[in-house]
Amino acid sequence: MPRKSYRHLLYGIFVPLALAGCGYDDSRAAHWAQIGMIGMTSNDLQACAGPPDKAVTLNDTTRVFQYGYKPGVSGSFSISPLNLATINYGGNGSYCVTNVRLVGDRVTEVHYSGDNDKFIGTDGVCAAIVRGCVRQPEATMRPMQGGLFGPVSAFSAPPVPPQPASAVYNPQPLATAPRLVDKP
């Protein structure tokens, strides 16, 4: 085998392994779930992601399930040469909060927040919450096709699908909502 072929073979093996170790696959799995979980029933959601840590009912048709995850070790470390200054070398994020909006008992959007980025890729820490849904898809999930690099990116979340008006607006103001009054 020519020398050039060996180099391509090594790159073909090394690059995916290096990316996997830095959070690339976790970030893609989290973003994959933001598309694939749309349309899933709340029963299937709880079967693969578990019962939510918190649940809020926004109105008669809309609920938000919240899941939290805090890994034990963040992967970062600090160096303090001669006790003059501290240099922090970041690793992975330290926690993720996943909010899942359900309208009419179906998932309509998935959002991630918190310090949840991996060394390579965004939202990778959140993959632990949705990993069960991605690895073993439920019957009510959206079918997904895609190769090594599609249809999601590890570096940006997919766009939020349009929401029905009943999910965005409450027909009557909440008792705890502030009331704005025009000054005379």
Per-residue pLDDT of the chain (184 residues; tens, 9 = 90+): 555 666 666 555 655 544 445 567 877 888 889 999 999 999 999 999 999 999 999 999 999 999 998 877 555 555 556 556 555 455 556 788 999 999 999 999 999 988 766 667 777 788 889 999 988 889 898 887 766 566 777 666 777 888 888 777 776 665 655 555 566 5
Domain membership of residue 169 (yes or no) is no
Domain range for 110 is 12-157
| 162 within domain boundaries | no
Is the pTM higher than 0.85? Answer: no
Phi/psi for 68 (5° steps) reads -120, 150
* Nearest-10 Cα torsion for 67, 68, 72, 75: 100
Residue 5 in tokens? 């072929």
Residues 133, 37: contact at Cβ < 8 Å? yes
Task: Report the pLDDT value the prediction gives residue 163, as an integer from 0 to 100.
Answer: 85
Note whether residue 115 is domain-resident: yes
Q: Is residue 2 assigned to a domain?
A: no
State how many domains the chain has: 1
